[in-house]
């Protein structure tokens, strides 16, 4: 008897065909006002879930008492109650590694776009404003040779350090719970306190996972420590930053600008004050969003799901004590 899974993130035809060979698949479109109701109707009897970006609370999990595994198409798992899943004996898997380089590219795209005012000035050209040679009013700031401050030195943080040190000759500072001697040796990076990093970095880049320890990590106090010519780049999660404090610091030009790919509320409302600021580059959570990488993530999630349903230990198990 094939096991049944609920799929709530679209897969390529290739991956869908592979999945349907092994399990019975119930596709649920969770978008729109009735999306959650459709998910609730599909959950009873499901042994597996595959998707992303949905908060699977206890109310939903209560509807799926036979659930064995949740395979997330993401590296971040802040939208799951891991303790609750573990108590229920439900394995949670994620998709690290496959998205590291693409997400670090996004981080550097935001560093460069923010520093050189690419979005603002591209709009200026499009609006027919380019009538003469540029003057200081339209100059940006250099990236090469500056100080890159990375908060969070995991896979993505290290990929950013490589880009900064090897690609742009940047001095690399980083803040993380533990020093990473290998990273320091490879990129001449220096482990420092959060305050030291904020006071010295020209680009402060957030790559930490969202947790109780990192929520609100960058607030008014931390922003006030940054140099007025410094820029903040967030490719982590919106709630790592006190968004109201950031808006005020940007409005008052207490920091030069921000490159943001994640927000407290996503999609970012069109009336967000962030979108009224010329010194903000806002992108719609495109961190891992390339064709190749999203296919690789989905493939990794399918591997994790099928492995777990076959009674094996999945490669990317977030909660190893579940299922025991
Ligand atoms: C997307 C991410 O949210 O992997 C993560 O944690 O934030 C992004 O890659 C995710 O890929 C949604 O499918």
Domains in the chain and their CATH numbers? Answer: 3-98+291-322 (3.40.50.720), 100-282 (3.40.50.720)
List, for residues 190-240, the tens digit of each pLDDT value: 999 999 999 999 999 999 999 999 999 999 999 999 999 999 999 999 999
Q: Which atom of ligand 1 is nearest to the CA of 74?
A: 4
The pLDDT, as a whole number, for residue 324 is 58
The DSSP code sequence of 222-264 is HHHHS-TT-EEEE-S-GGGB-HHHHHHHHHTTSSSEEEES--S
Mean pLDDT of 127-150: 96
Question: What end-to-end distance do the CA atoms of the chain give, in Å?
Answer: 23
Dig out the tokens for 142 from the structure: 């250099």
Distance CA 170, CA 151 (A): 16
Atom of ligand 1 nearest to the CA of 77: 6
Residue 202 is classified by DSSP as S
**Residue 197: C-alpha distances to residues 16, 104, 184, 204, 252 (Å):** 46, 19, 15, 8, 22
Angle at 229 between CA 119 and CA 218, to 5 degrees: 85
Q: What is the pLDDT of residue 323?
A: 62
Confidence at residue 113, expressed as pLDDT on a 0 to 100 scale: 98
Per residue in 258-280, pLDDT (tens digit) is: 999 999 999 999 999 999 999 99
Mean per-residue pLDDT over the chain, rounded: 97
Rounded-to-integer distance, Cα 107 and Cα 172, Å = 15
Burial of residue 260 (CB within 10 Å: 0-12, 13-18, 19+) is buried
pLDDT for 286: 98
What separation in Å is there between the alpha carbon of 215 and the centre of ligand 1? 18
The owner of tokens 């780049």 is 233
Q: From the CA of 92, how far away is ligand 1's center (Å)?
A: 15
**Is residue 156 in contact with ligand 1, taking CB distance under 6 Å?**
no
Does the structure show a pLDDT above 70 at 252?
A: yes
Joined tokens for residue 286: 């495109």
**Is the distance from the beta carbon of residue 290 to the nearest atom of ligand 1 less than 6 Å?**
no
C-beta separation of 115 from 143 below 8 A: yes
3-state secondary structure at position 52: coil
Q: Is 76 in the pocket of ligand 1 (CB under 6 A)?
A: yes
Distance 233 CA to ligand 1 centre (A): 17
Mean pLDDT, range 151-161, rounded to an integer: 98
What are the phi and psi torsion angles at 85 (to 5°)?
-60, -40
Per-residue pLDDT band at 313 (split at 50, 70, 90): very high
- The pLDDT of residue 1 is 86
């Amino acid at each position: 008897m094939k096991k049944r899974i609920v799929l709530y993130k679209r897969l390529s035809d290739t991956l869908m065909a592979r999945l349907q060979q092994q399990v019975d698949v119930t596709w649920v479109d969770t978008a729109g006002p009735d999306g959650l109701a459709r998910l609730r109707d599909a959950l009873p009897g499901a042994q597996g879930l595959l998707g992303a970006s949905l908060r699977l609370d206890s109310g939903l999990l209560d509807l799926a008492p036979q659930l064995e595994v949740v395979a997330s198409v993401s590296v971040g798992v802040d939208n799951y109650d891991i303790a609750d899943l573990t108590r229920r004996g439900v394995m949670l898997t994620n998709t690290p590694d496959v998205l590291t380089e693409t997400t670090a590219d996004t981080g550097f795209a935001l560093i460069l776009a923010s520093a050189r005012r690419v979005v603002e000035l591209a709009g200026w050209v499009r609006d027919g404003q380019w009538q003469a040679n540029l003057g200081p009013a339209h100059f940006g700031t250099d990236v090469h040779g500056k100080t890159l401050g990375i908060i969070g030195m995991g896979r993505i943080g290290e990929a950013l350090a490589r880009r900064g040190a090897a690609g742009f000759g940047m001095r690399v500072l980083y803040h993380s719970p533990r020093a990473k001697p290998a990273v320091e040796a490879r990129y001449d990076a220096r482990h420092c306190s959060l305050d030291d990093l904020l006071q010295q970095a020209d680009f402060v880049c957030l790559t930490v996972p969202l947790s109780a320890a990192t929520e609100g990590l960058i607030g008014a106090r931390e922003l006030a420590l940054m140099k007025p010519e410094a820029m903040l780049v967030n490719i982590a999660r919106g709630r790592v930053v006190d968004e109201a404090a950031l808006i005020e610091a940007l409005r008052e030009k207490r920091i030069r600008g921000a490159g943001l790919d994640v927000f407290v509320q996503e999609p970012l409302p069109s009336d967000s004050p962030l979108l009224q600021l010329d010194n903000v580059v806002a992108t719609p959570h495109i961190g891992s969003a390339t064709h190749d990488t999203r296919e690789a993530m989905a493939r990794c999630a399918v591997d994790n799901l099928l492995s777990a349903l076959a009674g094996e230990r999945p490669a990317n198990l977030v909660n190893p004590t579940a299922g025991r």
